[in-house]
Chains A and B, each alone.
Chain A
Amino acid sequence: QSVLTQPPSVSGAPGQRVTISCTGSSSNIGAGYDVHWFQQLPGTAPKLLVYGNNYRPSGVPDRFSGSKSGTSASLAITGLQAEDEADYYCQSYDSGAWVFGGGTKLTVL
């Protein structure tokens, strides 16, 4: 069982907006630790998508955005595209360890 909780799956039609939640606790996200998000396309390594709660690395489209409030964080994807179909993971820090969410599979209908 992961320290950070994500929904197993979300879905949306092309062009729609979807959000993926990441729920933590007072010992990780609620302690003020940063949240980062990764995208893992089928058969590939994870790719850093959002860092420091709401910053995008160079090359990541602005359709992807992160937010954090209290003990939770969210990843929003607008203008959904077929190529966004992937697994998404949140990551933070807790009690001396980097921790990940269990992952959310995004299906583009």
Chain B
Amino acid sequence: QVQLVESGGGLVKPGGSLRLSCVASGFTFRDYYMIWIRQVPGKGLEWVSYMSHTGGTIYYAASVQGRFTISRDNARNSLYLQMDSLRDDDTAVYYCARIIVARIGEPSKYQFDLWGRGTLVTVSS
């Protein structure tokens, strides 16, 4: 079954840390670029961080640059997001998604074609 399953969410105090995991199954994980996207409950979507299939290219949204670190272990079919110095406005459901690269070097053509069910991160004192 082709799927992504996130885990690691929970309640954490401001300034704390959390590590999210995303395990892939049913497809060749090492061939795909991946992305983390978050959604404040009841609100819209915001991309967080992106990684190429080899890990050689990484991007972060300005809102998390310097605080979050994306990584992957292709041998374990897993994507990770280390979140440090968490703030109240990081509270959201975090989704990992698979990327179909329609044309390398043209990120507007990247398609987020498979999403996990998400994991809720709540930052509150």
Whether A and B are associated in the same complex: the answer reads yes
Q: Point out residues on A near B: beta carbons under 8 Å.
A: 2, 33-34, 36, 38, 44-48, 51-52, 57, 89, 91-93, 96-98, 100-103
Is B112's CB under 8 angstroms from A36's CB? yes
Count of interface residues, chain B, beta-carbon cutoff 8 Å: 24
Secondary structure of the B side of the interface? strand
Question: CA–CA, A34 to B110, complex, Å?
Answer: 9
Q: Give the Cβ gap from A46 to chain B, nearest Cβ, in Å.
A: 6
Q: Point out residues on B near A: beta carbons under 8 Å.
A: 35, 43-47, 59, 61-62, 95, 100, 102, 107-118
Is B47's CB under 8 angstroms from A97's CB? yes
Name which of B35, B43, B44, B112 has the most chain A CB atoms within 10 A of its CB.
B44
- Leading 4 A-B pairs by shortest Cβ distance: A93-B108, A33-B108, A45-B115, A100-B45
A-B contact pairs, 13 of them (CB 8 A): A38-B112, A45-B115, A46-B95, A46-B112, A47-B115, A48-B113, A51-B100, A52-B102, A93-B107, A100-B44, A100-B46, A100-B47, A103-B43
